[in-house]
């Protein structure tokens, strides 16, 4: 009969005891036990050498591993992983290469080292899927702005405000805020504009403080940005993938800074955010950038932040109206709503190439379309 898993040791012991008896026929016993003569003589030799211990299974791993990574390199890999627990094989290999380590292992080898030392969670790795990437061709062509979901500290709640350059993924703003109010965002943006200059456009969602919901995309904060010559675009309602880079940045922030940590207050959050922002912008290899850090693709905007807001000038021939209470304007005997955010501001009305239709501009940005049909009209 062949070996059975539940009684392997007992069968092997029975075999060798019978095979070592005087006048035993080893080959016949092998046929009886359903094993080859080669296997039978192997067990007899091991039993003669070490007794019952010789009948246990031995590891099939080779005694030497000529292709295995040397201990010093493994230690370097594990040191980077300890410092950045969310980094994988490609990032770690790039950092070791940048640091000048001799014989840097391939990313796949780094991944094998992490797996061998129990540093990888298969369930977590399975969540990561490649993104379809789109980006603007130059720095500061578009900044994406959003709040990451707020979280509790021992002294209250933290609302992380993040602003990301679309082209380079450079984190222009990463600030721990006490709220999501207009004044808080404006203060953070003024500091960023003073350091990095003005972007051409900014992409936000439709929520406060940069939107007043679907159909009401402009707020006082948006009016201020338009006065600075910054175009405003909003993502499609209920489609967070429109701000995919911000969403991905928030996932990285959670994995590398927030997960498993508690903070005493906003000051502690600010300290952690500032330290990690330097790592992210200056050192962390970014896979969408060919494993280069974001700073390698970012440049300061040539448009400086002005000390005072520029005047609004539509030219001598423009048809200008001042927005009245509740966001209405008067035009050709009718009233049209352009939004409460523009109350007190001048807007210009220009005809389109379609009869009876006009576009309302605030500074450089079209904010409404007027359709006149006989006596009925709508905005």
Beta strand 171-177 pairing with 201-204? unpaired
Question: CA end-to-end span of the chain, whole Å?
Answer: 90
pLDDT for res 66 = 53
Beta strand 365-373 pairing with 334-337? unpaired
pLDDT for res 375 = 45
323 in the same domain as 182: no
Does any domain span residue 230?
A: yes
Average pLDDT over residues 104-128: 66
356 in the same domain as 282: no
Percent share of the chain, pLDDT over 90? 39
Number of domains in the chain: 4
Query: Is the pLDDT assigned to residue 163 strictly greater than 80?
Result: yes
291 in the same domain as 158: yes
Beta strand 319-322 pairing with 328-331? unpaired
Range from 203-212, 261-270, 336-345 carrying the lowest mean pLDDT:
203-212
Residue 7 CB burial class (10 angstroms; 0-12, 13-18, ≥19):
exposed
The distance from CA 75 to its chain's CA centroid, rounded to whole angstroms, is 27
> Which pair of tokens denotes residue 369?
């379309």
pLDDT tens by residue, 232-257: 888 765 555 557 788 889 999 999 99
181 in the same domain as 150: yes
pLDDT for res 226 = 93
Pairwise CA distance, residues 170 & 167, whole Å? 8
169 in the same domain as 31: no
Angle 218-219-224 from CA coordinates, rounded to 5°: 100
Average pLDDT over residues 350-366: 90
Does any domain span residue 312?
A: no
pLDDT tens by residue, 266-275: 999 999 999 9
pLDDT for res 376 = 44
289 in the same domain as 365: no
pLDDT for res 70 = 72
Range from 53-62, 116-125, 188-197 carrying the lowest mean pLDDT:
116-125
Does any domain span residue 138?
A: no
Pairwise CA distance, residues 175 & 266, whole Å? 9
Percent share of the chain, pLDDT over 70? 85
Query: Is the pLDDT assigned to residue 1 strictly greater than 70?
Result: no
pLDDT for res 158 = 96
pLDDT for res 374 = 54
Domain that holds residue 354: 319-378
Average pLDDT over residues 294-311: 91
Does any domain span residue 136?
A: no
Please report which confidence band the pLDDT of residue 134 belongs to, taking 50, 70 and 90 as the band edges.
Answer: low
pLDDT for res 7 = 63
Please report which confidence band the pLDDT of residue 6 belongs to, taking 50, 70 and 90 as the band edges.
Answer: very low
The interaxial angle of helices 89-98 and 71-83, nearest 10 deg, is 110
368 in the same domain as 334: yes
- Of residues 169, 207, 209, 168, the one with CA closest to residue 189: 209
Pairwise CA distance, residues 117 & 120, whole Å? 8
pLDDT for res 253 = 94
pLDDT for res 34 = 85
Average pLDDT over residues 54-73: 68
Q: Are the beta carbons of 13 and 52 closer than 8 angstroms?
A: yes
Q: Output 204 or 378, whichever has higher pLDDT.
A: 204
> Which pair of tokens denotes residue 28?
């016949």
Does any domain span residue 137?
A: no
Q: Output 37 or 94, whichever has higher pLDDT.
A: 37
51 in the same domain as 76: no
Range from 15-24, 181-190, 284-293, 368-377 carrying the lowest mean pLDDT:
368-377
Residue 106 CB burial class (10 angstroms; 0-12, 13-18, ≥19):
exposed
Pairwise CA distance, residues 369 & 360, whole Å? 6
Half-sphere exposure (CA, 13 Å, Cβ side) for 140?
17
Does any domain span residue 264?
A: yes
269 in the same domain as 161: yes
Q: Output 370 or 64, whichever has higher pLDDT.
A: 370
109 in the same domain as 251: no
Please report which confidence band the pLDDT of residue 150 belongs to, taking 50, 70 and 90 as the band edges.
Answer: very high
Average pLDDT over residues 275-300: 88
CATH number at 245 reads: 3.30.420.10
205 in the same domain as 110: no
Does any domain span residue 133?
A: no
326 in the same domain as 233: no
Query: Is the pLDDT assigned to residue 61 strictly greater than 70?
Result: no
Q: Could you write out the DSSP letters of every residue in 2-49? A: ---GGGHHHHHHHHHHHHTSTT--HHHHHHHHT--HHHHHHHHHHHHH
Dihedral over alpha carbons 196, 201, 205, 208 (to 10 degrees):
70
Does any domain span residue 120?
A: yes
pLDDT for res 378 = 53
């Amino acid at each position: 009969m062949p070996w059975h898993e539940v009684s392997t040791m007992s069968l092997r012991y029975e075999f060798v005891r019978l095979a070592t008896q005087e006048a035993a026929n080893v080959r016949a016993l092998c046929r009886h036990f359903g094993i080859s003569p080669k296997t039978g003589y192997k067990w007899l030799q091991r039993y003669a050498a070490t007794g019952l211990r010789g009948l246990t299974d031995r590891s099939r791993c080779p005694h030497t591993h000529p292709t295995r990574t040397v201990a010093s390199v493994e230690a370097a890999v594990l040191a980077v992983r300890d410092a950045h627990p969310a980094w994988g094989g490609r990032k770690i290999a790039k950092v070791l290469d940048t640091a000048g380590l001799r014989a840097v292992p391939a990313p796949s080898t780094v991944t094998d080292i992490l797996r061998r030392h129990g540093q990888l969670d298969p369930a977590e790795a399975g969540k990561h899927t490649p993104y379809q990437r789109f980006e603007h061709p130059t720095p500061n062509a578009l900044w994406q702005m959003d709040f990451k979901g707020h979280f509790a500290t021992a002294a209250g709640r933290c609302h992380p405000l993040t602003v990301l350059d679309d082209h380079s993924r450079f984190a222009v703003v990463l600030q721990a805020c006490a709220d999501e109010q207009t004044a808080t965002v404006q203060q953070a943006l003024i500091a960023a504009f003073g350091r990095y200059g003005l972007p051409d456009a900014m992409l936000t969602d439709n929520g406060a403080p940069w939107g007043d919901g679907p159909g009401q995309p402009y707020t006082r904060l948006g009016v201020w940005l338009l006065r600075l010559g910054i175009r405003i675009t909003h993502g499609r309602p209920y489609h967070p993938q429109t701000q995919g880079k911000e969403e991905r940045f928030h996932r990285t922030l959670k994995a590398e800074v927030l997960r498993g940590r508690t903070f005493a207050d906003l000051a502690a959050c600010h300290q952690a955010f500032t330290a990690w922002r330097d790592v992210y912008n200056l050192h962390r290899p970014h896979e969408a950038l060919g494993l280069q850090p974001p700073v390698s693709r970012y440049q300061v905007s040539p448009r400086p932040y002005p000390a005072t807001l520029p005047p609004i000038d539509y030219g001598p021939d423009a048809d200008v109206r001042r927005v009245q209470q509740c966001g209405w304007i008067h035009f050709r005997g009718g009233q049209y709503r352009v939004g409460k955010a523009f109350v007190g501001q001048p807007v210009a009305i220009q005809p389109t190439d379609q009869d009876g239709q006009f576009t309302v501009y605030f500074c450089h940005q079209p904010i409404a379309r007027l359709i006149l049909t006989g006596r009925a009209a709508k905005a």
